[in-house]
């Protein structure tokens, strides 16, 4: 019974946390930040330009 309660609390907590990430779009905000950073890196990176 105690194990069931612990498991459901962990499950509920995980789902709740994921829902916060989902609803406030935190995953895409993080990816959006990474997108900007990676693009800045590529603006400076050497490129093998060839026609």
> By the criterion CB under 8 A, which residues form the site for other proteins?
18-19, 22-25, 27-29, 31-42, 44-51
What does the alpha-carbon distance between residue 13 and residue 40 come to, in Å, rounded to a whole number?
Answer: 37
We find the least distance from the C-beta atom of residue 25 to other proteins, in angstroms, to be: 5
We find the least distance from the C-beta atom of residue 2 to other proteins, in angstroms, to be: 28
Continuous H helices in the chain: 2-23, 26-44
We find the least distance from the C-beta atom of residue 16 to other proteins, in angstroms, to be: 11
Whose tokens are 């905000």? That residue is: 29
C-beta closer to other proteins: residue 9 or 36: 36
R_g of the chain, CA atoms, integer Å = 21
């Amino acid at each position: 019974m105690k194990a069931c309660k612990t498991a459901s609390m962990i499950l509920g907590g995980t789902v709740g946390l994921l829902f916060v990430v989902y609803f406030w779009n935190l995953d895409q905000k993080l990816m959006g930040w990474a997108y900007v950073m990676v693009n800045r890196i590529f603006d400076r990176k050497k490129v093998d330009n060839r026609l």
